[in-house]
Structures are given as C-alpha cells and as structure tokens.
Amino acid sequence: MIAPTADIHERAQVAESSQIWDLSKVRENASIGENCILGRGVYIDAGVSIGDNCKIQDNALVYSPAVLEDGVFVGPAAVFTNDTFPRAINPDGTLKDASEWDAIGVTVRRGAAIGARAVVLGGVEVGEWALIAAGSVVTHDVPAHALMVGVPARQIGWVGASGRPLEEADGALVDPVDGTRYLDQDGSLNEA
C-alpha cells in the first residue's frame, strides 16, 4: 500500500508487502524490505537500505547512507544525520556542492529501537536490540542490548529483545518477558 501523496522515486525498490503513508518521500536507489511501515511524512534519502519488518514512524528523517537491519523501530521525528562537519559554504564563501563532503551513515542493527525525536549522529552504529530513549542524542556507538538516555546519550542499563529492562536474578540478567538469561561480561551482554 502506497498512499497517493507519497513520493516514491522510480529507481527506489519497495517490497509489495510494505506500506508507505501520506507525504512520505523515498529517494532513488533506496531499498525497503518486506512488511515495513513508513508513517506520514517520513523521508528516506537516496541509497538508504531498510531491512524487513521495520517500522518508521511519522516525520522521521533517515539520511544516506544509513542502513537499518531487520526489525528496526524508528520513533516519530527521529533523525539520522550524515555530515560530521556540516557547512553550507566553503571558507571563501562559495556554496559547497555534494562533491565537497563525504556522507557517513548510521547503522542500526537487528531489532534495535530509536525513540521519538532522538538524533543519531552520522557514523554511529546502534547494536542489536538496543533501545535509545526518546529525545536522546547518540554521539558514539551503542552496544547490543544497551539502554541509552540523555544528551549526549549514556548507557543506564540493559534491555532484552522484549525491550524491557533486564532484571538481576541468580547471578544473571533476565528478560522479564521471555526469560532469556544474559551475562554482563566487561560491558558486553551475552546470552547465558
């Protein structure tokens, strides 16, 4: 389902099972996998790659060359940037063109979730099943299963695949929804 007001470039690849809602834009050479939902006003830049079963909520902005793996959630008005040293003009006052900067994308691994109005800076990798709280600004790589909050974002705990904070039990961290057990080993979470 593609809304009549959505703007999908003829060279974009969109799986037939995906839904793209009103006023969204998908640029050339972007790819959107199976069963994805793009809300109202979403912007997907040229060359962005989105896996299967992703949800990208209203007014989110995903700039090239971002990669979202399967099952990623992007909250309303979240932004993935791509320019480490942004400038409109050169030191001599001339307008910069596309050849004068190198876009560096965000990578979001399988099952991770980015909260509403969060900003993820270019070059950052968000690990599998990580959870970025609403309004956070992510300036560095995020470990798998990390719970990140604030400006700049800092880790305050761990979450399971369910998205719920892990609970301590019998020397391990346990997902309260599915019972999966993890061990925190030197700042990295591994299934027990």
Any idea what the CATH number is for the domain that residue 69 is in? 2.160.10.10
111 and 146 share one domain = yes
128 and 191 share one domain = no
42 and 133 share one domain = yes
Q: C-alpha angle 145/155/105, rounded to 5°? A: 70
Report if residue 18 sits inside a domain.
yes
128 and 185 share one domain = no
pTM to 2 decimal places? 0.93
122 and 58 share one domain = yes
Contacts for 48-52: CB closer than 8 Å, 24+ residues apart: 48/105, 51/110, 52/15
130 and 175 share one domain = no
171 and 154 share one domain = no
Report if residue 90 sits inside a domain.
no
Average pLDDT, the chain: 95
151 and 183 share one domain = no
* Host domain of residue 180: 166-192
116 and 181 share one domain = no
If 0-12 CB within 10 Å is exposed, 13-18 middle and 19+ buried, where does residue 2 land? middle
Whether the pLDDT of residue 97 is over 80: the answer is yes
CA distance 134 to 120: 11
Greatest CA span in the chain, whole angstroms? 64
| Cα atoms found within 13 Å of the Cα of residue 44, Cβ hemisphere only | 39
Whether the pLDDT of residue 42 is over 90: the answer is yes
Report if residue 106 sits inside a domain.
yes
Whether the pLDDT of residue 117 is over 80: the answer is yes
Query: If you average pLDDT over residues 44-52, what whole number do you get?
Result: 97
Report if residue 174 sits inside a domain.
yes
123 and 189 share one domain = no
CA distance 10 to 29: 9
| Number of structural domains in the chain | 2
